[in-house]
Amino acid sequence: MQDDTNPLDTVSPMEEHRFPCDQCGADMRFNAAAGELVCDHCGNVTKIEGHGGHVSAIQELDFRAALDAKLPEAEIEETRVAKCPNCGAQVEFDEKTHAKECPFCATPVVTDTGVHRHIKPKGLLPFGVEERAAHEAMNKWLGKLWFAPNGLQQYARKGRRMSGIYVPYWTFDADTKSRYTGEHGTVYYVTKTVMRDGKQMQVQEQRVRWRPAAGTVKRFFDDVLVLASRSLPKNFTDNLAPWDLAALEPYRPEYLAGYRAEGYSVELPDGYDEARRYMDQVILRDVKFDIGGDRQRVHSVNTTVRDVTFKHILLPVWLAAYKYRGKTYRFVVNGRTGKVQGERPWSWIKITIAVVLGLIVAGVVGYVASQAQ
């Protein structure tokens, strides 16, 4: 920002996410089921302008301009966030809150007063699953776990509140053209006479006839999704997919009312590197398909990438953290579909009892069988 005055000196970093009820003054929250702001104090309802009916596409930003620090200043914002010393999550808190529990790992966090400058979100998927439904989905998932400690089931029954978090992601678009060299393989068989067990036999031996191949493949990549958070295991977030990105809404702070938003910790260049690794895998499959035949060898692929654009988006998850014997276990629920992923502890007491009971049953069965003879 060109102005020497920092607006964050006088404005709470969470103020834009708070919407006082115009009837009673209490904070309103975004209701996932209704898609509108509701006041739990007096029941007042406020519709979100344009919710569910946006016509224009969400604007993509120029990747090269971002690398050269030439994005319009309107695309940049500054916030104060709390950084968790355990998992590294950067979550915005009310400036009046001096200590809080990290929603990602349940570690006590002291709020930070540092200013963080980052690229604004361009879009988000609003929560579509309420906390109660997310809790029911998590309880159902926990109930299916074998040999889980009793404390885990007690945790589920207590109904401890879950945290609704908007997790940051990057999406990338790119137009690619790849020139390749390789070999096209055709499988054929020859008949050979061999000796087996002192007898002559004829067998079919597989061989591959190779011939040179070269060509060009083109592909446009749209919305390659890259997690921009280091707070959650990537396998968790990958397994929460699919996300209905076609339903992305233009970013409006009203959607964050009653929730928290995590700041991105994977910088844009690192996010693009991961997107490129995904693109390269897809391009390699395209090359093999273009070579054709029964087998393929790829010697080289030279890809030209043009017109790279990106956007910063927020996707909704419900989080719960449970500590068992000093270790934190996390449960994540897709805030759109209710799909659950999580870490789980094992109760070695239950496992030992099960093994002992199994041995006893096996012994009894063996004894009865021997007596029957």
CB 333 within 8 A of CB 162: yes
Name the nearest CA neighbour of 317 among 127, 115, 70, 155. Answer: 127
Helix axes 131-143, 150-158, angle to 10 degrees: 160
> Which residue type sits at 207?
R
Partnered with residue 104 across adjacent β-strands are none
Q: Which of 189, 193, 194 is nearest to 206 (CA)?
A: 189
Residue with structure tokens 């393989």?
185
- Range 27-48 average pLDDT: 85
Least confident segment among 96-105, 322-331, 357-366: 96-105
pLDDT tens digits, one per residue of 310-354: 999 999 999 987 776 777 778 899 999 999 987 766 555 555 665
Nearest to 291 by CA among 363, 145, 152, 184: 184
Q: Is 191 exposed, middle or buried (0-12, 13-18, 19+ CB in 10 A)?
A: exposed
pLDDT in tens, 150-201: 666 666 666 678 889 999 999 999 999 999 999 999 999 999 988 888 888 8
Average pLDDT over residues 203-230: 96
User: Which has more pLDDT, 362 or 286?
Assistant: 286
Token output for 266: 């994977």
Of residues 265 and 102, more confidence is placed in 265
DSSP symbols for 142-196: HHT-TT--HHHHHHHHHTPPPEEEEEEEEEEEEEEEEEEEEEEEEEEEEEEEEEE
At 356, the pLDDT band (50, 70, 90 cuts) reads low
Give the DSSP per-residue string, 288-336.
HHHH-SSEEEEEEEEEEEEEEEEEEEEEEEEEEEEEETTEEEEEEEETT
What pTM did the predictor assign?
0.78
Indicate the pLDDT class of residue 13, thresholds 50, 70 and 90: very low
What are the sequence ranges of the domains in the chain? 58-179+221-292+308-342
Nearest to 285 by CA among 227, 241, 221, 206: 221
- What DSSP string describes 62-106? EHHHHHTT-S-GGGEEEEE-EE-TTT--EE---TT--EEE-TTT-
